[in-house]
Chains A and B, each alone.
Chain A
Amino acid sequence: MTTTTEVPQVETLQLVDGGMNFDGVQALEDVSISVKSGEVVGLIGPNGSGKTTTLNLVSGMLHPTTGRVMLGDKDLTRMSMRKRARIGIVRTFQSVRVFGRLTVAENIEVAALGCGMRRHEARELTEELLEELNLESVANTAAESSPAGLIRTIGIARALATRPKFLLLDEPAAGQNESEAVELIEAIRNISRRRACGVLLVEHDMSVVMSTCDRLHVLDSGRTVIAGLPQDIRHDPQVVEIYFGKRH
């Protein structure tokens, strides 16, 4: 799988002591999380635990009230989401937000163009991604009228078209059953391995991330509960309580 010609240097994207305060509501407090090139990190926690807020901070959609976002030793804290996309930190949305009346192929091509690729490069990459993600049959269909099950894949293909170094996925498997979700995330994992791309994956289903992530980060009420390897986290009493134990 690994190509011998290019050896990409390993980079680290991290949120350092990130805090987010929305008009007095502390949505996130002192959360530190990091992703290395080629690694899949799962970000889990119950609803309202701050997963999406964390992703928004890392992607640049929101700027943290405290803490920093770093790529290696470069400070990105104030950099816009658009500029981050152009340096290879790209996100997807829970609601996908496809470009509905553009074709599936155009959805992918335009993201490549957005990140500065030349037209023919963008087209070649589009063809590759359509094939890799089995979207060829719908390539010339308007994205909004393609089958619901493919919409999420289109969103991922679009993100990959920017040639990301880091892919930030907001519940990419939402609405799918467990086996479909595992399959989709496995596919994402293979793709990112091949591209030596780091993945930060927001997911609320524990069992999905257990089998697919290299490391896990558990949030609850805007704070880190625990971070580590999946097998260590599975039996952590706090996590068990959050997920299976008493409900407040």
Chain B
Amino acid sequence: MTNSTRIRRLFETPILLVALMGLVALIAVFGDPTITRVTVQALIAVVFVAGLSLFSGNSGVMSFGHVGFMAIGAYTTAYLTIPVNLKSSMFSDLPESLGFLATIHAPFPIAVLVGGLAAAVLALVTAPIMARLGGLQAGIATLALLVIVFTVLNSWTDVTRGSSSMIGLPKSTTIWWAAGIAALVIVIAWAYKKSRSGLQLQASREDYLAATASGIAVGRHRVFAWVLSSIPVGFAGALYAGFFTTFNSQTFFLSLTFSFIVMIVLGGYLSLSGAVIGALGVSVLQEILRRFQDGAFTGGISLPAGIADLILAAVLLFVLVKAPLGLMGTRELRLFRKRSIGSAS
């Protein structure tokens, strides 16, 4: 491979994906409020799924726990952006050690950043477990993490309000925030995939034993990717909080996890392009199914609740059988395709 081909191959995919984010944002700018809402949601999904793909795509370990990181980002944003006078009435029973939560305040951009870092703290605490476990055990451990985060948020009502909603967040997430952070996360995820650590982690995904025999410190790379991937997912939580302005402990649990898993699996978890396309595609599909369920296409007769989720689950099953690696497999989005080399493989 010549140097120029290598450079082209290195930048082609992220440029295309970032351009795609710009295009999606433009649709929202010229669309009606519903389209804008769907678009922002889709971009938040891109931020999440691209972040998840940074870990799962390279390590081959599917994480069901990343929604826990998202929750951390959302709650951090709530503490930092809800007006102080409202907070003092919402959190009258804060434990003394956490009293500062009632008085701190920060602008939204800082809240997003702190949300990402707070998620990374949780990732760092759980990292030793991820370094030691592989395959199915690791997947189940991530599910346990989700349950732990949910249980704490749901039960520690003095601090989190549990299943009562967080309210009064200013609406801060604009289409440009969502698109900009989506583009940033795409670039980070791509850079990691192409980095020396990323390549070594991919080798361990392909064959753990052979990776070890080649001197690769699998645990170390897995931990790095785990912590790095939690940051964008924390951003996604902050964007979510700043867009919907209200949420509770139930928001960040199984059904949201299922949505994101469908996105990454449909698109193809081994490919960043697949993750991004899956996030966009499934977001649109979910909106269409929701309307279908509400009777938009059946002459106003609404269908039984849950039909949208059932159809989505059926689509997931179909893809898992027909294309286990998703629509993109291991391919990435490219403009040019060289026939002589097996780029399609």
Contacts and interface: CB of A to CB of B under 8 A. Distances in A.
Contact of B345 (A93, A106, A119, A145): A145
A93 B207 CA distance: 12
A98 B210 contact: yes
Contact of A162 (B214, B330, B342, B345): B214
A135 interface: no
A190 interface: no
Given A102-B203, A140-B1, A114 B211 contact: yes
Interface in A103-126: 105-107, 109-111, 113-116, 119, 122
B210 A82 contact: no
Contacts of B343: 140
B209 A113 contact: no
B210 A93 contact: yes
Nearest to A106: B199
Nearest to B195: A119
Contacts of B209: 61, 93, 97
A99 B330 contact: no
Contacts of A110: 199-200, 202-203, 211, 214, 216
B136 interface: no
Interface in A34-60: 59
A141 interface: yes
B302 interface: no
Interface string A60-100: 01000000000000000000111001100011010001111
The bracket for how many chain B residues form the interface is 20 to 34
Contacts of A115: 214-215
Given A99-B206, A110-B203, A145 B213 contact: no
B202 A142 contact: no
Contacts of A194: none
B1 A105 contact: yes
Contacts of B199: 102, 106, 109-110, 113
B162 to A, nearest CB: 44
A187 to B, nearest CB: 21
Contacts of B212: 80-82, 85
A97 B207 contact: yes
A113 B196 contact: yes
B206 A101 contact: yes
Interface in B266-299: 270
Contacts of A80: 212
B202 A93 contact: no
B310 to A, nearest CB: 33
A133 B213 CA distance: 21
Given A99-B203, A161-B214, 11 more contacts: A82-B212, A85-B213, A90-B215, A93-B210, A101-B202, A107-B203, A113-B196, A114-B216, A140-B341, A162-B214, A162-B215
19 contacts: A61-B209, A82-B215, A86-B215, A90-B215, A99-B207, A101-B202, A102-B202, A105-B1, A110-B200, A110-B202, A110-B216, A111-B203, A111-B214, A113-B216, A114-B214, A116-B215, A139-B341, A145-B342, A158-B210
